[in-house]
Amino acid sequence: MSRRGPLFLCTFIAGLLGACIDLSEDLDGEPCTVPEDCWHKQECARTLNEIALGLPGVCKPEGTGCVFGAQLGCGCIPMDATNGCFVPAVSQPSVPLLPYPQMVCDAGTNTCQVAPPPEMP
């Protein structure tokens, strides 16, 4: 048997095992900037506001679009603790380029917006 035989067989088996492993749960909620950062069954849910500010999106199942009440430019419900933009979907990346800004739910547009700076006394 040539040396190529075992190498081909190992590569083939590794490919099959890789195709059977689903990393969707492991990558769900991870920061991303391009679709390739996520599993093939996921999308990089990244809003135009995040792109404009150079912020990462988040890996979510295909068709999500954005995380309601938790991403800049995504919909929200004012005065709702769970959907009021108080907790960003993107946690601090391990190597932060820019920290995710504080958000508020704009009552006029019902979208998460950057919170105004705190008032100085």
User: For 23-54, what is each residue's pLDDT tens digit?
Assistant: 545 567 888 989 888 888 899 999 999 999 99
Residue 9: per-residue pLDDT: 44
- pLDDT band at residue 10 using 50, 70 and 90 as cut-offs: very low
CA distances from 5 to 1, 2, 87 (A): 7, 6, 53
> Burial of 67 by CB count in 10 Å (0-12 exposed, 13-18 middle, 19+ buried)?
buried
Mark residue 34 as left, alpha or beta (left: phi above 0; alpha: psi -120 to 50; beta: remaining): beta
Model-level pTM? 0.72
Q: Pick the more confident residue, 91 or 52.
A: 52
Closest residue by Cα to residue 89 from 76, 107, 106: 76
User: Which pair of tokens denotes residue 65?
Assistant: 């679009």
Question: From CA 47, how far away is CA 69, in angstroms rounded?
Answer: 12
Return the domain boundaries, the chain: 22-114
